[in-house]
Amino acid sequence: MKNLDTIDVQLSDHGHGEYISLVLNGEAVEGTFDYHLFAMLGSVKSITIELMTCSCGCAGCAGIFDGVAIKRRRYTVEWRDVDCGLPKPFYSFSVEQYDAVTKKARDYMYGIVERRKDADPDVYQHDGICRSGTIEELEASIRYAEDWLRGRK
């Protein structure tokens, strides 16, 4: 397969806590990325979802009401940007890379929550995307998100 796009996530820190950024074709995407929802998308076949959002976690605050149409094919995962404001209107990623990156996002989430447990709450703020303060809360929110995604298929 030729001309595939690349996808990745990177762990960043804005001085008040860590967050996960979306990286498309080697460039970090501006705006707030719903990494919690993205980490749950590994096996979803087809969905339209808001992957970019306001920093509070509500996509509508950022003027995003449809999001990205995602379609999983045999060898690729395709994204069609409806109104997220991604750099390009269409992306095609290899299934292998996409699955590895959704797992990487989930692993980052566990690390963030683990490090938050010992942080000073006045300095280390929870963001609007991953509000979990404990691993148990994170796992409960993952189960909720997976159930919600199953209902949207």
Q: Where are the domains positioned within the chain?
A: 7-152
Task: Look up residue 64 and give its DSSP letter.
Answer: -
d(CA 12, CA 28): 11
Q: Which residues does the chain have with pLDDT short of 50?
A: none
Whole-number pLDDT of residue 138: 85
- Tokens standing for 88? 């390009």
- Tokens standing for 152? 């949207």
- Tokens standing for 58? 């509500």
- CA dihedral over 138, 14, 119, 100, signed as positive or negative: positive
Whole-number pLDDT of residue 121: 59
d(CA 20, CA 24): 13
Whole-number pLDDT of residue 108: 92
